[in-house]
Amino acid sequence: MTRVAHTAVAEPPRPDMFSNARVVGDQFFLSGMHAGTPDGPVGGSDTYVQAVEAFRRVQALTEACGATVDDIVVLRIYLTDIDEKAAVGRARSAVFSGDFPCSTLVEVSRLVEPGLTVEIEAQGFLPRSSGQ
């Protein structure tokens, strides 16, 4: 098992609590990515902008694992307002093409930081050519 980091994604404040990304064998797993920053969410309360930022972080960590977004097979998306699913869908469509990952989208009462409206987990398989 290998912990993976990327300079474009802040590491957890307490690395002994969780990892942003792990590679286990030929698979990679990403913790929920969101738009949180110390100054509040990227995009304020705009779910579309938050989703774009969350997917940017998913993509950065996926690439740090040695894969591409095409290697993601499962997404789990958490929204604080299910009526915003179209905004998340627009952001997702800008990242993925062809066969989209399997996906679950659920509404939750709140996320880890105030103001966050969307969080995205991902997992997939490393390409055979990555040498992993």
Say which CATH number the domain at 104 has.
3.30.1330.40
Is 6 or 66 the better-scoring residue by pLDDT?
A: 66
d(C-alpha 53, C-alpha 26), whole Å: 26
13 lies in a domain? no
129 lies in a domain? no
Reply yes or no on whether the pLDDT at 20 is more than 90.
Answer: no
Full-model pTM: 0.90
Mean pLDDT for 111-131 is: 89
56 lies in a domain? yes
Confidence of residue 58 (pLDDT cuts 50, 70, 90): very high
15 lies in a domain? no
d(C-alpha 25, C-alpha 78), whole Å: 27
48 lies in a domain? yes
60 lies in a domain? yes
**CA torsion angle for 81, 76, 101, 17 (degrees, to 10)?**
140
- pLDDT score of 78: 98
d(C-alpha 53, C-alpha 45), whole Å: 13
110 lies in a domain? yes
Domain enclosing residue 35, as ranges: 2-6+20-123
Mean pLDDT of the chain: 91
- pLDDT score of 15: 65
- pLDDT score of 130: 47
For residue 93, give every residue at least 6 positions away whose Cβ sits within 8 Å of its Cβ, in sequence order, or none. none
Helix (H, G, I), strand (E, B) or coil at 101: coil
- How many structural domains does the chain have? 1
14 lies in a domain? no
Is 97 or 54 the better-scoring residue by pLDDT?
A: 54
